[in-house]
Structure 1
Amino acid sequence: MRRRQALVAALGGLAAGCGYALVGKGVTTDPSIKRIGVPLFHNRTGRSDLDATVTQAVIEELQKRGRFTVVKEASGVDAVVEGDIIAYSTVPVNFTDEGGVSQASRYAITLTASVVYRKIGQKQPIWANNAFTLRDEYDMDTQATSYFDREQLSIGRLSQAFARNLVAAMLEAF
């Protein structure tokens, strides 16, 4: 009986030792990077104010990390995050039928940017992605006048999510 209990305890210990572990290496940021510059992203889309909204969201997300001083220029910094917003689209994804007329009731917006995070004085970037993309959706009501208000709210949400995902991708080695 004791032998059986010992065997069960040993097998239990072995089973507890088996499991999943994170493969990533955690933070990949060079510890010498204390000050990061985030100049205004270039807006190649024609959608006004998208550059300012996305850039500000990235700055705020980096500041939330608490390890960096974040400024809006590329001079006097240890590293820089540079971005080009290369695509923005709004497309209807759901329709309702009102009296034989089909009307869009839900829209999806997609934002794509080319982003480079590099240490000043180094040619090789720390992190880069030529097509970093995120999408958000929003519902429309029957008032056509609220279209631009809903789109603007969605752009705000998308910019914050975009910045959160972008900063995580830049700073974490997963």
Structure 2
Amino acid sequence: MREWTRRDVLWLAGAAVTSGCGYALAGRGNTLPASIVSIGVPPFVNQSPVPDVDRVLTDAVRAEFQTKGRYRILPESTGVDGLCIGRVLSVVLQPSAFTADKQASRQLIVTTASIEFTEVAAARVIWANPSFQVRDEFDITTGESANDPAALFTQDANALDRLARNFARSVVTSIFEAF
């Protein structure tokens, strides 16, 4: 049997390094077109019955874009290179767990929005989803919030913050992975 020489090992290592297969991990998209330096995220429009959810989701999307570092994030739609426009269509509660006396103890919250990201100079839509959905589950501590998202968010501000972070992370990841 042949022994491996140092030259053989170096040759194999070099071949392995230079033969990249072209695959990349999902969720690793981290750039937009080079022309996009500033991103406008104007206030989302709220068409849901939940007051203030538009502001919280808009703020979370802006903050998530900030984590990408290279972009200047602005609260307007003019004078920007990229534009993220959103409409919150609905926020719906669905019971997902029940107590022994058949009261909802956990709720699934489904947030549906229409989101579009455009490269302004090229007038090109980079990513759009007219029925973007994010789902999250929350424990219920009182009967008041069993069917009312506004009551749940009033009772538990952390629920709305967590929902907003998950929503924003999903939106921004989808936009970056689309390019």
- Whether TM-score is above 0.5 comes out as yes
Task: List alignment gaps of at least 5 residues for structure 2.
Answer: 146-150
Q: Distance in 1 between matches of 2:102 and 2:20?
A: 52
Cα deviations across residues 118-174 of structure 1 (Å, max 9, x unaligned)?
A: 021433301111121111111123x44686345542221011111011111111348
What's the secondary structure of 1:40's corresponding residue? coil
1:154 aligns with 2:146: no
1:91–1:53 Cα change, 3 Å: same
CA RMSD of superposed structures (Å): 2.8
1:108–1:76 Cα change, 3 Å: same
Q: Distance in 2 between matches of 1:164 and 1:116?
A: 15
Range that drifts further, 28-37 or 145-154? 145-154
What's the secondary structure of 1:54's corresponding residue? helix
Range that drifts further, 31-40 or 114-123? 114-123
1:94–1:150 Cα change, 3 Å: farther
1:76 aligns with 2:79: yes
After the TM superposition, which residues 60-139 of structure 1 pair with which residues of structure 2 at under 5 Å, given as runs?
Answer: 60-97=63-100, 101-139=101-139
Q: Given that residues 138 and 151 in structure 1 are in contact (C-alpha distance below 8 angstroms), is that contact kept between their aligned partners in structure 2?
A: no
Tell me the CA shift for residue 33 of structure 1.
Answer: 1.1
Specify which of 43, 47, 51 is matched with residue 50 of structure 2: 47
Residue in 1 aligned with 2:35?
32
| TM-score normalised by L of structure 1 | 0.80
Q: How many corresponding residue pairs?
A: 163
What's the secondary structure of 1:102's corresponding residue? coil
Look up the equivalent residue of 1:84 and give its one-letter code.
R
Task: List alignment gaps of at least 5 residues for structure 1.
Answer: none
Q: Distance in 1 between matches of 2:140 and 2:77?
A: 40
Residue in 2 aligned with 1:56?
59
1:69–1:19 Cα change, 3 Å: closer
Q: Distance in 2 between matches of 1:94 and 1:23?
A: 35
Q: Given that residues 30 and 68 in structure 2 are in contact (C-alpha distance below 8 angstroms), is that contact kept between their aligned partners in structure 1?
A: no
What's the secondary structure of 2:125's corresponding residue? coil
Identity between Structure 1 and Structure 2 (%): 36
Q: Given that residues 127 and 178 in structure 2 are in contact (C-alpha distance below 8 angstroms), is that contact kept between their aligned partners in structure 1?
A: no
| TM-score normalised by L of structure 2 | 0.78
Q: Given that residues 140 and 150 in structure 1 are in contact (C-alpha distance below 8 angstroms), is that contact kept between their aligned partners in structure 2?
A: no
Residue in 2 aligned with 1:169?
174
Q: Distance in 2 between matches of 1:23 and 1:164?
A: 17
